[in-house]
Amino acid sequence: MTFEYIDIEDPVFRANCQERNEEDYVLVRCNDYASVPINIPNWTPKPVCLSRRFERVAQTIKQMEVRPDDVWIVTYPKSGTTWAQELIWLVCNEFDFQKAQDIPLDARFPFIELSGLRDLPETINPLQDALQMPSPRFIKSHLPPAFLPNALWSVQPKMVYVRRNPKSVAVSYYHHSVSLHCYNGTLDQFIRSMMNELVYYSPFHQHLIEYSELRYPNMLSLCYEDMKRDLPGTIERVCRFYNKPFTGEQVTRLADHLSFDRMRQNASVNRSEWVEFNLKQTNRADKLHDNNMRFIRQGQTDGWRKELSEELIEAMDRWTLERVPPSSKYARLFQ
């Protein structure tokens, strides 16, 4: 059996998962991971928290064709995926800002397991879109290595991995879960679930560690905080990674296009229609103007300082310290 679906027994989770709208949560174990080129001795991937809907796409993704000129991005959710997607797509498409404006990012760069997380309108099927896309395809996923197509490890197309500070991810993920997954719990409950490894795609630390240990020369690792600190420098790194020529003028224009304020106003990337559709469908139209409901929400590296209590900050720091001691070679991934 390639995938096993294991009920969550945790009593804290079970006590009120229904109230929080987490009834579909399940642990998924992938038993077919021998082809993943990873430097972790005796690696046995842990089960990952996903939706029961994942069964709809699991096998198709695992068996899907991979092409040498595919452009993959993989991240733990809320790590700067959309920002990096728009950057990569424009670099790989001769800075065609007009096309980027005309075609929504989700059509240019499908999120392959989306229908394994939520129920989509019948006309929307990102996995089929990706399978049928002419080359070069642009593919987004949040899945850990064991869940990605087996062919990825032999074909090895270029892949970008983006990481972000755990506390920033957690706060952003909470707001995303409320707006797009109808999560009904509090911020405190969500953070505790994340520390309990019971939010979609957890365990969090494992995700970053596994990607950092892949023997995959065609991978570029980016981080959200570096993108904030030096966006033009990141654009140049991405251009070099894809062997794309660039001028200073193109880099400046792209940095401007990717600025938080511009992305926020850009209907091709800001998913405002999607959020609006969700809020209306779930009788929350009153939240349409709530800033925290916006997909491109705050865009800061230390916004968590204002949103998390001292107690939660300490608990999250302990969570990371227990899994990744400061002397560990992985500590740099979680700063």
Binding site for ligand PPS (CB under 6 A): 75, 77-83, 168, 172, 175-176, 258, 260, 263, 296-299, 303
Contact in structure between 324 and 285 (CB atoms under 8 Å): no
Considering only CA atoms, which of 34, 42, 31 is closest in space to residue 5? 31
Q: How far is the CB of 35 from ligand PPS (least distance, A)?
A: 26
Query: Whose Cβ is closer to ligand PPS: residue 2's or residue 189's?
Result: 189
Q: How far is the CB of 179 from ligand PPS (least distance, A)?
A: 10
Query: Whose Cβ is closer to ligand PPS: residue 184's or residue 292's?
Result: 292
> What is the C-alpha to C-alpha distance for residues 120 and 130, in angstroms, rounded to an integer?
16
Query: Whose Cβ is closer to ligand PPS: residue 60's or residue 298's?
Result: 298
Q: Which residues contact 102 (CB under 8 A, 6 or more apart)?
A: 268
Query: Whose Cβ is closer to ligand PPS: residue 31's or residue 252's?
Result: 252
Q: How far is the CB of 275 from ligand PPS (least distance, A)?
A: 11
Find the length of the chain.
335
Query: Whose Cβ is closer to ligand PPS: residue 272's or residue 298's?
Result: 298
Q: How far is the CB of 290 from ligand PPS (least distance, A)?
A: 13
Query: Whose Cβ is closer to ligand PPS: residue 77's or residue 145's?
Result: 77
Burial (CB < 10 A; 0-12, 13-18, 19+), residue 135, is: exposed
Q: How far is the CB of 213 from ligand PPS (least distance, A)?
A: 22
Contact in structure between 28 and 94 (CB atoms under 8 Å): no
> What is the C-alpha to C-alpha distance for residues 69 and 50, in angstroms, rounded to an integer?
29
Q: What is the largest CA-CA distance in the chain?
A: 57
Q: Quick one: tokens of 289?
A: 């103007």
Q: Quick one: tokens of 268?
A: 């091709």
Q: How far is the CB of 154 from ligand PPS (least distance, A)?
A: 27
